[in-house]
Structure 1
Amino acid sequence: MSSHLPEDQLRAFIGSLPTRRLASAAIIRDENGRVLLVEPNYKDGWTLPGGTTEAGEDPRTGCFREVLEEVGLQLPAGRLLLVAHGISQGIWGDSVSFLYDGGQIPSDTTITVQEEELLGYAWVAPQDLGDYLPGRVADRIRAAIECIADGTTAEVGPLH
């Protein structure tokens, strides 16, 4: 596709466009419906397995690459469950997060925690997610679990 603008003007225009960080994570459940959470060593609190999508990588591929790296699970790339928008998130700016279905695995499955980034993991019942995560994040995960049950996809945000 060609542009009607000279290349220097096109580059300036593209450089003026807003940017958003992309992240993706997996909702991995056990036979009791509990959700796998991981505890990063580089920030306080807990999160889902997943992470930042790298340049040239789509969010689904990034999600399941991160799951393999972080917890040693090679899972089939499940469907998109939820898209969450973060707007004006301080130094992080704007972001889009994608939550994917990581499927159900037995709770006794070997989890190999990536020691460079993680302190540990926990299986957490959906009603207890608020004990580990900020309320809005716990709500997003519960909404994604509802999407698994009813076959829908949700979009939430923006958060300010």
Structure 2
Amino acid sequence: MSLTPDDPDVWNAYLAEGNAKQARKRVAADVLLRDSAGRVLVVNPTYKPGWDLPGGMVEANEPPETAVGRELREELGLDVTLHGLLVVDWVAPHGPWDDQLAFIFDGGTVDLPHELHPQDEELSEARFVPMETALTLVRERMRRRLKAAADALHHGRPTYLRDGMQIW
């Protein structure tokens, strides 16, 4: 007898077994957000060294683009409409971490009537800086991703990276 979806209970048990054995990926989702002067929003996390783009880790069964919106609201009190995908980066296992998928979305341009202040303890500071400054503030892995995001924005198409190196 071959396994078919004709018996939903048996079929779902089969699928659940396969699901339990398949790899789970950590997923991060960040946003490239600019002001009208072309400066980039960077944030200073309290839980790791170096600056970063706003965003964070995706929760279980949460779409990456939803995670970006949630993180921006929680950490900065911002509601931003995303304009598309700029980067997907597959990050190899490193240190104690398994592999990861890291997304950067285009948050477009915003002009805020006030200075940004972190809304929770995960960030100590948030500010718009020129791209050149942003590239000196972020760590190497994010630097490669941020450069690729700027290129993707310029060329009007997303890019795929493997450990920060452009594949396509």
2:67 to 59, 62, 65: 62
Q: For residue 56 of structure 1, what is the amino acid of its counterpart?
A: N
Q: How many residue pairs end up in the alignment?
A: 160
Equivalent runs, 1:10-159 vs 2, <5 Å: 10-106=15-111, 109-158=114-163
Go from structure 1 to structure 2 and tell me whether the alpha carbon gap of 1:151 and 1:130 turns closer, same or farther (over 3 Å shift).
Answer: closer
Structure 2 residue runs without a partner (length 5+): none
Instruction: Report the Cα distance in structure 2 between the residues aligned to 1:19 and 1:102, rounded to whole angstroms.
Output: 27
Instruction: Report the Cα distance in structure 2 between the residues aligned to 1:64 and 1:8, rounded to whole angstroms.
Output: 34
Identity of aligned residues (%): 31
1:2 to 5, 8, 19: 5
Q: Larger Cα Rg: Structure 1 or Structure 2? A: 2
Go from structure 1 to structure 2 and tell me whether the alpha carbon gap of 1:73 and 1:2 turns closer, same or farther (over 3 Å shift).
Answer: same
Go from structure 1 to structure 2 and tell me whether the alpha carbon gap of 1:29 and 1:7 turns closer, same or farther (over 3 Å shift).
Answer: closer
Q: How far did residue 78 of structure 1 move?
A: 2.1
Q: For residue 119 of structure 1, what is the amino acid of its counterpart?
A: S
Match of 1:90, SS state, is: coil
TM-score (norm 2): 0.83
| Alignment RMSD (CA, Å) | 2.5
TM-score (norm 1): 0.86
